[in-house]
A and B are shown apart, each in its own frame.
Chain A
């Protein structure tokens, strides 16, 4: 299982008004000399798999098609193989207690790619 971190940032050529606004706010806090602030997105995923090449290719595909818009955003990602034992964190902790809010990756874990439609109950109402 791989823990993946995806960083999505606006392309340098794109105007980033959020970044510009933050830049203008910093001097009011006493910070001078701060430039080129860009605001992006940080996404974490856990991906089933044992082969890094395959996972890397899949994550690349996810980034290109959904997680980033390549027309206006750059992306990069890092992945860490946390081994075949679900729930094993980098520090070797094993999550076993039912009280912990974190999932143990396994048959009961909700895959982030399972489509859940919060509006499913509307299906009968649409189409009047």
Chain B
């Protein structure tokens, strides 16, 4: 049997999706998920670092603004700089933008409502460690659950994101059309998830860890974690 793929899930005060992430990863025999406390300095030799959803520091000041200064985030940044795989989900995505490990910033949803529904996403790239098991243009359904998910970026960043094809998931309708009507929060260009230039750090607002078991209403998230496992096992 091949080696266990280590997923370190960082827990901040106010994180509330770390259990779901560890549970979902536990449905993959090849995965070994474990918790990491935000104040520690040892990532414990992960293959993938996961920043889970929640309300770290109560979303005080700005969502993710304080968590980015947690001691463990220094280690996460170094891990990412060295090519390590980092997945930020929802609040994790927010923390990654505040930490400048991903382009852009988060605004309050344009409708001012906390949204909570099964959202269609179009997979824009399949040549990343996070999406290699998907088909190009595939439409998947993943729950969204947030009040501040309207991703935006400055003109320069947007140009770079366009040039480097950094967008990985866009909000779309059931047919895969990326339209304003299908945009649940006003995010620029319907961006639901993107990577940084190195391709090893992904942030996404929807929760793939919530669609890994059929009993919960969908399994579209399995291909994402499966892609990461494939990538790590391939590296040997």
A72 partner, pick from B14, B69, B152, beta carbons under 8 A: B152
Interface stretch (choices A46-54, A76-84, A102-110, A114-122): A114-122
Whether B111 is near chain A, meaning CB under 8 Å from some CB there, is yes
In contact, B35 and A127 (Cβ under 8 angstroms): yes
Q: Which residues on the B side are within 8 Å of A72 (C-beta)? A: 105, 107, 152
- Judged by DSSP, the binding face of B is loop
In contact, A117 and B62 (Cβ under 8 angstroms): no
A69 partner, pick from B13, B65, B110, beta carbons under 8 A: B65
Q: Which residue of A lies closest to B100 (CB)?
A: A71
CB distance from A39 to the nearest CB of B (A): 10
Beyond A118-B13, A122-B13, A127-B35, is A18–B108 a contact (Cβ under 8 Å)? yes
In the complex, A15→B14 CA distance in Å? 28
A17 partner, pick from B14, B35, B98, B108, beta carbons under 8 A: B108
In contact, A71 and B154 (Cβ under 8 angstroms): yes
A-contact 0/1 string along B50-86, CB 8 Å cutoff: 0000000000011001100100000000000000000
Whether A97 is near chain B, meaning CB under 8 Å from some CB there, is no
Q: How many residues of B contact A (CB 8 A)?
A: 26
Q: Which residues on the A side are within 8 Å of B172 (C-beta)? A: none
Whether A29 is near chain B, meaning CB under 8 Å from some CB there, is no
Whether A126 is near chain B, meaning CB under 8 Å from some CB there, is yes
Q: How many residues of A contact B (CB 8 A)?
A: 20
In contact, A69 and B11 (Cβ under 8 angstroms): no
In contact, A117 and B39 (Cβ under 8 angstroms): yes
Q: Which residue of B lies closest to A70 (CB)?
A: B105
Q: Which residues on the B side are within 8 Å of A10 (C-beta)? A: 107
In contact, A71 and B153 (Cβ under 8 angstroms): yes
In contact, A71 and B107 (Cβ under 8 angstroms): no
In contact, A71 and B37 (Cβ under 8 angstroms): no
Whether A88 is near chain B, meaning CB under 8 Å from some CB there, is no
B-contact 0/1 string along A14-34, CB 8 Å cutoff: 110110010000000000000
Beyond A69-B105, A71-B154, A117-B39, is A15–B110 a contact (Cβ under 8 Å)? yes
A117 partner, pick from B13, B36, B98, B109, beta carbons under 8 A: B13
Beyond A66-B61, A119-B13, is A126–B37 a contact (Cβ under 8 Å)? yes
Whether B176 is near chain A, meaning CB under 8 Å from some CB there, is no
Whether A93 is near chain B, meaning CB under 8 Å from some CB there, is no
In contact, A69 and B98 (Cβ under 8 angstroms): yes
Interface residues, chain B, with chain A CB atoms under 8 Å away: 11, 13-14, 34-37, 39, 61-62, 65-66, 69, 98, 104-105, 107-112, 152-154, 186
Sample of 7 more A-B contacts, CB < 8 Å, known A17-B112, A69-B62, A69-B98: A10-B107, A21-B112, A66-B61, A71-B105, A72-B152, A122-B13, A126-B11
A–B Cβ pairs within 8 angstroms, 19 of them = A15-B107, A17-B108, A17-B111, A17-B112, A17-B186, A41-B61, A66-B65, A66-B66, A69-B62, A69-B65, A69-B98, A71-B152, A71-B154, A72-B152, A117-B13, A123-B37, A127-B34, A127-B35, A127-B37
Interface residues, chain A, with chain B CB atoms under 8 Å away: 10, 14-15, 17-18, 21, 41, 66-67, 69, 71-72, 117-119, 122-123, 126-128
